[in-house]
Structure 1
């Protein structure tokens, strides 16, 4: 089986396709922006990477969202709910975690079908 990698760097690839499945690295927005803006930016990156891989958000199977503070859950959800394809919403989990830097407030990880 072939493996195709997108935006590959020395540490990781932003997307990997294998056996009809697309795996995205965690997507974040601009450090220091508010959680709604970071969520919008992260979801725009998801859209861009899925397009590069040859699929789109209607094919997302699973999403994992990490928030630096669960108090931001409603603000993140407001952005997610406008973005998520109604009728094609994925399985999703959201939790709280320390992210790579304190200025990151949200990280979005998805797995999608081609």
Structure 2
């Protein structure tokens, strides 16, 4: 049976959980109050860093779930996403609107990936 590993954990959650070759990231948010563009860029940088830590990268993402505090920000977020996601390696993706943890958060992204 594959071992479950948890990274950057506290009493509530882990930022990364791995099980065998599967990689699960917690919902990532960026500096509150920044624009949707800046928050999305910050989140994607965090995702790159966290995936690299466990031997993965954005080409290995299987699924992305994106939450926007305001769906009118969809095009702005997509402009950053489209420039970041590697063509030929686009994951299954969903995007929905929901109130986030604080009103200053505009974007949250959750990914599931595999190790290289």
> TM tier, shorter chain?
over 0.9
Whole-angstrom CA distance in 2 between matches of 1:48 and 1:10: 22
The residue number in structure 2 matching 1:59 is: 60
Distance 2:87 2:61 in 1: 12
Structure 1: gaps spanning 5 or more residues: none
1:90 is matched with 91
Q: Is the aligned partner of 1:102 residue 2:103?
A: yes
Q: Which runs of 5+ in 2 are unaligned?
A: none
Cα displacement (A) at 1:8: 1.1
Number of residue-to-residue matches in the alignment = 114
Query: After TM superposition, which residue ranges in structure 1, 4 or more long, deviate above 4 angstroms?
Result: none
Equivalent position of 2:78 in the other structure: 77
What is residue 23 of structure 1 aligned with on the other side? Answer: 24
Q: Normalising by the residue count of structure 1, what TM-score does the alignment of the two structures yield?
A: 0.98
User: What's the TM-score once normalised by structure 2's chain length?
Assistant: 0.96
Which residue does 2:36 correspond to in 1?
35
- CA offset digits 1:90-110 (Å, max 9, x no partner): 000000000000000000000
Cα distance in 1 between the residues matched to 2:48 and 2:24: 13
